[in-house]
Structure 1
Amino acid sequence: MPSIVDRPAQRYVAERATVGIDEFARIADRLPPLIGTLAGSGIAPAGAPFFRYRVLHPGMRFTVEAGVRVEGGFTPEEPAFAGELPAGKYVLDTYVGAPDGLVAATAAVLAWGAVEGVAWDVTEGPDGEEWGGRLEVLRTNPLEVADPNQWVTDLLFRLAD
């Protein structure tokens, strides 16, 4: 059952790409080198890695960021960049299972929101839905838990102010 939580603003370092579902690995594969770059600079992640969906384009294409939360003012080299997740109220739901179930889990949260009458932090832009805060936080390290059916992912959707 989803819940509503308050979250503070959080700095992060990420890379961004526009991909379809079939090419999602192209952005997902950027997380290990990004974490390695942070480690090489003596910076420990300040939380689990995540995907931030910025724009949902027609035809199941996404402008998405693969990111890692950090403390302080680290400035990465391009193509990585520093950003900030906005503070606010978020709907939180936890999904346990393989990544191929995330589409259905996301649809369930959005359907719950429609029934509850929540207003999402989303606007219609020229390229599709532009989200202020829509995240998949990867709470399971695949190197530690090999079975994707046991992976834990937090789904977070920012509410409109």
Structure 2
Amino acid sequence: MPEIVELPDRPYVGVRGTVTMSTIPAIADRIGEIVGWLAGRGLAPAGAPFLRYESFEPDGDGMVLQAGVPVAEPVDVEGDYFAGVLPAGRYATATHRGPFDGLAGATGALLAWGAEQGVTWDVTERDGAEHWGCRLELYNTDPRTEPDPAGWLTDLQIRLA
């Protein structure tokens, strides 16, 4: 059952790119790279890695997406990595159990629940595109240690206005 929770600022290291639904792995697959980069500097993740959906283009064919790994404190970065902060605020959250191909439906259910509750999302429209303040999928299960997709847990978090 979805709920609304208050979350603090959360620093992270991330990468960003413009992708389509079929090219999401070009960004998503870099999560392991970021974890390795952090480990090489003696830093451990401070939470579940995530994808952050920044914007969706009008034709639905392109989106700006981030892959990120939370850190305890902000860190200096290099290359195409950047240091970011997931903003504090009130978030609608729900947990999806199962394979990643069910996430679109789970997100749709969370958005529908929010509409029923009268929630106002932190989203704006510019040039026909949706720009989200903070819309996340947090991957709590490592598929390398849990090979059965039926056991994967993914938290959905969408910031309220």
> TM-score by structure 1 length?
0.96
Q: Deviations over 1:65-110 (max 9, x none)?
A: 0000112231111211000000000001000011111111111111
> How far 1:113 sits from its partner (Å)?
0.7
- May I ask how many residue pairs the two structures share in their alignment? 160
Q: Map 1:84-99 onto structure 2 (within 5 A).
A: 84-99=85-100
Q: Map 1:8-157 onto structure 2 (within 5 A).
A: 8-58=8-58, 59-126=60-127, 128-157=129-158
User: Is the CA contact (8 Å cut-off) linking 2:125 and 2:131 kept in structure 1?
Assistant: yes
Q: 3-state SS of the aligned residue for 1:75?
A: coil
Q: Distance in 2 between matches of 1:128 and 1:109?
A: 20
Residue identity matched to 2:2: P
> How far 1:60 sits from its partner (Å)?
4.0
Unaligned runs of 5+ in 2: none
Q: Distance in 2 between matches of 1:150 and 1:42?
A: 30
Q: Distance in 1 between matches of 2:53 and 2:128?
A: 13
User: Is the CA contact (8 Å cut-off) linking 1:89 and 1:158 kept in structure 2?
Assistant: yes
> TM-score by structure 2 length?
0.96
Q: Distance in 2 between matches of 1:140 and 1:127?
A: 35
Structure 1 stretches of 4+ moved >2 Å? none
Percent of residue pairs identical: 50
User: Is the CA contact (8 Å cut-off) linking 1:55 and 1:127 kept in structure 2?
Assistant: no
Q: Deviations over 1:86-141 (max 9, x none)?
A: 00000010000111111111111111111111000000022611111100000001
Unaligned runs of 5+ in 1: none
User: Is the CA contact (8 Å cut-off) linking 2:124 and 2:131 kept in structure 1?
Assistant: yes
